Amino acid sequence: MHGIPTGPALVERFRADLPAILADIEQLIRCESPSADLDAVARSAETVAEVGAALLGREPERIVLEGRTHLRWSFGGPAGVLVLGHHDTVWPLGSLRTHPFSIQDGLLRGPGCFDMKAGVVLALRAVAALSDRTGVTVLITGDEELGAPSSAQLIEVEARGRAAALVAEPAAASGALKIARKGISQYRIRAVGRAAHAGLEPERGINAAVELAYQMQVVARLGDLAVGTTVTPTTMTAGTTANTVPADGSLAVDVRTFDVAEQVRIDTALHALSPTLPGARLEVLGGPNRPPLAPSMSECLFRKAVRLGEQLAISPVTGAAVGGGSDGNFTAGVGTPTLDGLGAVGGGAHADNEHVLIDEFPARTALFTALLAEILGGAA
């Protein structure tokens, strides 16, 4: 099947390659890549290109959008599989000093190891294992942690008409694949009032902070935990000095839903907000950023993964619905069957304890490879 061993032999092949795999991951981690630093992302892209070219036998296409560097390897043929990942991280430059790369007690650590530099290497290794890569496109983006402001359209274009999109984002708890993701909407509510001296004539002011406090309560009540919809006020700013009635303020709101209809409901409600204080004015900016990855978009691929896991004699393949978003939301949003969370097993994404379980890596890479081969065979 596409020139790869079958069953447990495939896992053992990647276990034999583990030292080289870990070296590739280390190379990526040691090139820091905070999303907001365009130069750092460009350097990281070159590092990923070097590792990928060595494995895949060709240079990627470098796609620079709004100053952000994305990489694409296309192997032609029918519209088969989009392999998707990102090389940017949330960790600022200098994080290697406080969170150094290390391998100890079966754990690999370092900034961005779990989310998702180990997953990038896993995906490249899986594609490299195929003797026939016809129909595969690998897209590694550089702005996922920002919500994919420059790459979202690129991802959607690449995903349309594909048999499948496989996303090398880190696994959920206990190694579960991510079979559903909430859609994400982001908003900023601005309140405009009127300044006045807080001691001499506060009655002449229109307090933007008080207006936002009213709106925050309205917004927080829009969530519906019974269907998994969360509406969370997050950061709020207002005012200029301690003795002035605030004339301006803003409130950020994070919305997560499993259902497009819920996204629309919340969007409609937020844009219909009206001020409470006489003379105050509201502006609501923002909207949906990522559509939901519905369970129906992953169901068929997940069944394949479960069956292939049994053939590989690895731990039972499980699935989980999660609240966080990924670029897999975009591929599912254009109607492409999508399976997410195929990357590294570990934990601590974005946190001090970020880590990858080294012993799980051969089995995960084997599962990714076998899934690729089966989908391509079916597409052919």
Residues identified as active-site: 88, 144
Q: What are phi and psi of 90, to 5 degrees?
A: -90, -5
CB 355 within 8 A of CB 207: no
How distant, in Å, are the alpha carbons of 74, 258, 306 from that of 80?
11, 27, 20
Cis, bond preceding 116 (omega within 30 deg of 0): yes
What pairing do the DSSP bridges indicate for beta strands 107-109 and 248-257? unpaired
Question: How far apart, in whole angstroms, are the C-alpha atoms of residue 197 and residue 216?
Answer: 25
220-255 in b/e form (b: 16+ CB < 10 A) is eebbeeeebbbbebeebebbeeeeebbbbbbbebeb
Angle CA 260–266–268, to nearest 5: 100
DSSP per residue, 110-144: STTIIIIIHHHHHHHHHHHT-S--TTEEEEEES-G
Q: Are 119 and 169 in contact, with CB atoms under 8 Å apart?
A: yes
Are 119 and 112 in contact by the 8 Å Cβ rule? The answer is no
* Residue 195 DSSP code: -
3-state helix vs strand vs coil in the chain, percent to 5: 40, 25, 35
- CA-closest candidate to residue 263, choices 222, 220, 296, 217: 222
> Is 278 exposed, middle or buried (CB count within 10 Å of its CB: 0-12, 13-18, 19+)?
exposed
* Cα 89 → chain centroid: 10
Query: Helix or strand or coil: residue 325?
Result: coil
Residue 146 and residue 284: Cα distance in Å, rounded? Answer: 20
Measured distance between the N- and C-terminal CA atoms of the chain, rounded to whole angstroms: 12
